C-alpha cells in the first residue's frame, strides 16, 4: 500500500529511551503475527456475530524485536488480552498479559513487548487509556514508546480488506506519579497521547516461510482448505516440476512481452533489454571451455548416479534382511 508518511517530531516525555526525536520509525510485521491477529479477530468477533460487525473491543499484545535506537520494530507474535469496557473506563486483564508474556519470553528470550493491537475505526479516548497501560510499568514496552497497530476490517455493514495502520504514541502531559502539585487539579490520572502514524510493512523472513505462504496462495482463498501432504508416490519431484513449470511460464510471458513491444523504443524496454543482456551474456570465463565443462558435467552426473545406486543398495539390503528374518522364523 502506498501511503506516504510524514515523520513528525515526537515529544517523548514519558519514554526516556525513545529514539531521538527526529528519526523515522518503521514497523515490520511478520506474516505469521499478522495472521495470528486476524485469526484472533475472526474468532472473537465473527464467530459470535453473524452480521460480521461488532462493537466489542478486541485487543492484544504485540511481541517482537526492537532495534537499539528504538526506531525499527519487528512484530513477530501476538496474543489476545481480555478487556472489558464499561462506559468511560476499561479493565485490562493484567494478570493474563503478564503470564503470557513471561511464558513467551522463556522460549524467545530476545523478544519483548512492543505495544498492542486493536481493531477500531477511530482513535478515541479509550485508545489512549489502553495505550497508557502498555506504556507504563514492568513487562510492558516501557522505557520505549509503545506502538499501536490498528486492524480496520469493518466498513459500514460488512467486512472489508483488513487495513493496517501503525501508530507510535507519546505522552504529552507530564506523568502523574510525582507528588501532586498544589494548585493543579488533576482530573484523570492518565497522560494524554499523541498518536503519530508510522509506516509499516508486512514481511516474510525465512525462505521456508515464504514457500509455505506461496502454498497458501496457490490454492487461493476460494477454498477454505488445502491438502498439504498427498500420497508418497505423487509427491516425488512434485515440487520441482511445479517450479520448472513456473519458470517456463515466466519465460513465456517475457517472450510475449518482447514480441508485443517489438518496436518499443521507450526507456522501459531499453532497461529491460539491458538487464536481459547483462544477465544472459555475462558468464564466468570457465564456462567458455565447452569440452571441459561437458566432461565435468558427466563426472558429476556419474557421482550422483553412484550415490543413488549405493543408497538404493542399502535400502534393498534392509528390506531383504527384514524379509529373511521373517521367513527364517516361520520355519
Partner 1 sequence: MATKNKTYQQPTATTIEVEASVLLSLVRHTSEHYPALYSGALLGFEDEEGGVDITHAFPYPYPDQYEGGSLRSKSGSKYQQDILDSLRNLGYGIDFQGWFQSTISGNFVTTQLVDALVQQQLTNKNAFVLVHNMASIGKELDLKALRLSENFVNTYISGKWRSKNLELNRLSYLNLFDELEIKIHNQQLINLYLAGNEDTLAKPMEKEFDILNLSSNQNVTAQLLESLYSQVDSYNYDQNNFNYYQRQLQKENSKITQWKQQRKVDNIERAKKGESELDTTEWETIFKLPAEPSRYNNMLHSHSIDVLADDILKKCDEELTKSFAIERKLVAE
Site for partner 1 in 264-293 (CB under 8 A): 290, 293
Q: Cα dihedral angle (80, 81, 86, 89), rounded to 10 degrees?
A: -120
H or E segment at 318?
helix 290-330
- Of residues 147-206, those binding partner 1 (CB under 8 A): 153, 159-162, 205-206
| Choice from 91, 255, 318, 320 touching partner 1 (CB under 8 A) | 318
For residues 78 and 61, is the Cβ–Cβ distance under 8 A?
yes
Q: Which is nearer to partner 1, 180 or 208 (CB)?
A: 208
From 83-91, 139-147, 278-286, 306-314, give the range in contact with partner 1 by CB under 8 A.
Answer: 306-314
User: Which has the closest alpha carbon to 118: 107, 108, 127, 109?
Assistant: 127
Query: Which member of 21, 173, 186, 219 binds partner 1 (CB under 8 A)?
Result: 219
210 touching partner 1, by CB under 8 A: yes
Instruction: Give the β-pairing of 200-203 and 193-198.
Output: unpaired
Query: Using the rule CB under 8 A, is 8 a contact of partner 1?
Result: no
* Minimum gap (Å) between residue 294 Cβ and partner 1: 6
**Radius of gyration of the CA atoms of the chain, in A:** 29
- Helices within 62-107 (DSSP H only): 94-107
Kindly tell me which of 263 and 288 has the beta carbon lying closer to partner 1.
288
- Is residue 22 a contact point for partner 1 (CB under 8 A)? no
Q: Which of 87, 178, 221, 284 binds partner 1 (CB under 8 A)?
A: 221
Pattern 65-104, partner 1, x by CB under 8 A: ------------x-xxxx----------x-xx--xx--x-
Report whether 292 contacts 298 (CB < 8 A).
no
Work out the number of other CB atoms within 10 angstroms of the CB of residue 27: 23
Degrees, nearest 5: CA angle 215-220-225 = 75
- Report, in Å, the least distance between residue 186 CB and partner 1: 34
Cell numbers representing residue 252 in the block: 513465456
Check residue 243 for interaction with partner 1 (CB under 8 A): yes
CA distance 169 to 96: 23
Of 88 and 268, nearer to partner 1 (C-beta) is 268
- Closest distance of CB 177 from partner 1, Å: 29
Out of 11, 23, 35, 264, the residue judged to bind partner 1 by CB under 8 A: 35
Candidate segments 13-21, 122-130, 175-183, 243-251, binder of partner 1 by CB under 8 A: 243-251
Q: Which grid coordinates belong to 83?
A: 478487556
Stretch of 4-12, 185-193, 213-221, 263-271 lying at the interface with partner 1 (CB under 8 A): 213-221
Closest residue by Cα to residue 11 from 222, 204, 128, 173: 173
CB of 323 to partner 1, least distance (A): 9
Cα separation of 239 and 231, whole Å? 14
Instruction: Please identify, among the stretches 29-37, 128-136, 170-178, 272-280, the one whose residues bind partner 1 according to the rule CB under 8 A.
Output: 29-37
Contact 143, 16 (CB under 8 A): yes
Instruction: At 38, give phi and psi (nearest 5°).
Output: -60, -35
308 binds partner 1 (CB under 8 A): yes
Using the rule CB under 8 A, which residue among 209, 258, 261, 264 binds partner 1? 209
Size of the site for partner 1 (CB under 8 A): 88
Segment 38-57, which members bind partner 1 (CB under 8 A)?
38-39, 41-43, 46
61 near 113, Cβ under 8 Å?
A: yes
How far is it, in rounded angstroms, from Cα 150 to Cα 121? 8
The residue within the footprint of partner 1, chosen from 88, 156, 225, 268 (CB under 8 A), is 225
Closest CA to 62 of 183, 175, 168: 168
Amino acid at each position: 500500500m502506498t501511503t506516504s508518511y510524514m515523520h513528525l517530531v515526537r515529544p517523548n516525555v514519558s519514554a526516556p529511551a525513545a529514539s531521538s526525536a527526529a528519526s523515522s520509525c518503521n514497523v515490520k510485521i511478520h506474516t505469521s503475527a499478522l495472521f495470528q491477529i486476524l485469526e484472533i479477530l475472526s474468532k472473537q468477533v465473527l464467530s459470535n456475530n453473524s452480521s460480521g460487525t461488532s462493537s466489542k473491543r478486541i485487543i492484544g499484545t504485540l511481541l517482537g524485536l526492537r532495534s537499539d535506537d528504538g526506531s525499527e520494530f519487528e512484530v513477530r507474535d501476538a496474543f489476545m488480552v481480555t478487556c472489558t469496557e464499561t462506559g468511560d473506563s476499561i479493565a485490562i486483564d493484567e494478570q493474563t498479559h503478564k503470564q503470557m508474556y513471561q511464558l513467551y519470553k522463556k522460549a524467545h528470550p530476545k523478544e519483548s513487548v512492543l505495544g498492542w493491537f486493536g481493531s477500531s475505526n477511530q482513535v478515541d479516548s479509550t485508545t489512549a487509556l489502553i495505550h497508557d497501560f502498555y506504556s507504563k510499568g514492568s513487562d510492558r514496552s516501557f522505557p520505549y514508546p509503545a506502538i499501536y497497530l490498528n486492524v480496520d476490517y469493518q466498513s459500514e455493514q460488512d467486512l472489508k480488506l483488513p487495513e493496517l495502520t501503525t501508530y507510535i504514541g507519546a505522552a504529552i502531559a507530564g506523568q502523574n506519579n510525582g507528588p501532586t502539585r498544589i494548585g493543579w487539579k488533576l482530573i484523570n490520572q492518565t497522560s494524554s497521547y499523541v498518536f503519530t502514524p508510522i509506516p509499516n510493512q508486512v514481511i516474510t523472513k525465512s525462505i521456508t516461510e515464504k514457500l509455505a505462504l506461496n502454498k497458501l496462495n496457490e490454492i487461493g482463498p476460494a477454498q477454505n482448505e488445502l491438502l498439504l501432504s498427498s500420497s508418497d508416490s505423487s509427491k516425488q519431484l512434485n515440487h520441482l516440476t511445479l517450479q520448472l513449470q513456473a519458470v517456463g511460464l515466466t519465460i513465456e510471458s517475457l517472450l510475449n512481452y518482447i514480441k508485443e513491444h517489438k518496436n518499443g523504443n521507450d526507456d522501459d524496454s531499453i532497461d529491460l533489454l539491458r538487464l536481459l543482456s547483462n544477465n544472459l551474456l555475462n558468464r564466468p570465463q570457465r564456462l567458455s571451455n565447452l569440452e571441459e565443462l561437458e566432461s565435468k558435467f558427466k563426472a558429476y552426473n556419474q557421482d550422483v548416479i553412484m550415490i543413488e545406486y549405493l543408497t538404493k543398495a542399502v535400502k534393498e539390503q534392509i528390506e531383504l534382511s527384514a524379509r529373511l528374518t521373517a521367513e527364517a522364523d516361520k520355519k
